[in-house]
Structure 1
Amino acid sequence: MNASTPDDDEPTSFVGKTKALVKKHKGKIVAAGTVAVAVVGVLARLHDEMEAAEERDAVGVEDFSEVPLVEVPKRSASGLHPVKGSLVDLGGRQASARAQENYRHDFGSDLPPGKTYRPPHSRGSVKV
């Protein structure tokens, strides 16, 4: 016997097949419908926010040539450059004798406890 025919061998109607299918998969259909409604809601909200942003932009500056540009200094990716000396926290440890000596030489006093001293130095490479 075929799954599409009842006991009396008459073909099942399309409506009957659909009702059986819906009954069998009702939970999945409800879940998919819920997800679809949620997605449509999110998309509608995003659309409203985009329209509001476009309206705000339309009221703002129309010609960006009127907006002053801010000059941002560029860092040199290479090249020898000086680095200032600095104190570094050692987290309770003690500085080396060399760091204490360098600090005393540069500042004429003892290094603060729990700190080390990085003397001034150059960083980078010489451009050839």
Structure 2
Amino acid sequence: MGEVSEEQKNEWKRIFDEHDTDEKEGLSRDEVKQVMCCCNQNPTDKEVDEMMTAMDKNSDEKVSFEEFCTFMQQLPDPAESMKEALEVFEGQDGKLTREKLKEILSTDDDDVVEEVLNAADINNDGFIDKEEFIKFIQN
């Protein structure tokens, strides 16, 4: 990732300060877990430990704001991830079929495919188009 905008850095500072509840100039393991939960993740203890190891470069058992920013810069850009996800529609006539969805989800479970298709296929035509996909992802 290149330069971080002042706006992005301010957002990271807001998130950091909001979760640094003990105000000890760093995020504890439990506070890192809270950050992950706020990002719609439900981490296991092992995943929290791995996250702490990745973030806490000086091994002082807390994550400083600088360490937090360095880690955040390494995360994938959500806009880029959405672009990559939408590229799946290229060559698909702009629509995802049940078969392609099964392939993308890497599952043979027809119930899972049907559940996703039913949730995302707003116009009930049996396909997921780009607009439906975007709405599904945003929800």
Question: Under a length normalisation based on structure 2, what TM-score does the superposition of the two structures give?
Answer: 0.20
Q: Which has a greater percent of strand?
A: 1
Normalized per residue, which structure has more helix?
2
Bigger RCO (CA 8 Å, 6+ sep): 1
